[in-house]
Amino acid sequence: MCLFRKLSEPFLLLLAPLCVLVGCGHYTLGRDAALPFQCIYVAPVENRSLTPELQSFVWQHIVQCLENSPVIVISERNDADAILEVILAETSQSILSTSYRDSSTADSYSLKVSALCTLRESGENRYFFKDRCLETSISIPTQPSYVEAKRHVTPQLAANLARKICNLVLYSW
């Protein structure tokens, strides 16, 4: 029995890594689900918020993100299989923190934007998703100038929102 134990321990030590390697041999990177469309048209972003400069930034970043995807092609409206429509619904800001010495002096604000996204089949009233709400926010320091800081973070806020929209379009299948 002792000889069997001495031989079985090294055998089991060799067998365990082999089982792991065999299990990993069938793994493939990426996703299995195919997109139900190959060509997409990105409609101009509609802006219902009080931040007009976001509109063009969001559209640019969405198009850039989707162009970098190897699985779909951006096309004209007539050639597209699907149409992406984005509405900037609302922007809001709130105080993140205040100075302990002066309650009227804010140290930073949070700027939040929400968008409604609709992806539909071209030429038909079949929706892949409709009015899906996405939100993103960013912190804005008030020093030295809130207006200047807000102007600098607007493209970053738009890029964050566009990335979420692209992830919704590409990876929700």
C-beta of residue 110 within 8 angstroms of C-beta of residue 138: yes
- Spatial separation of the C-alpha atoms in residues 139 and 108, rounded to whole Å: 7
Q: Rounded to an integer, what distance in angstroms lies between the CA atom of residue 62 and that of residue 42?
A: 8
DSSP H or E segment with residue 64: helix 54-67
The predicted structure's pLDDT at residue 129: 94
User: 10-residue block means of pLDDT along the chain (173 residues)?
Assistant: 58 63 57 80 94 92 94 92 95 75 63 95 89 92 75 90 95 79
Domain 34-93+113-135+160-171 adopts which CATH fold?
Answer: Rossmann fold (3.40.50)
User: What's the rounded Cα separation, in Å, for the pair 83 and 74?
Assistant: 10
pTM for this predicted structure? 0.75
CB count in 10 Å sphere of residue 5: 8
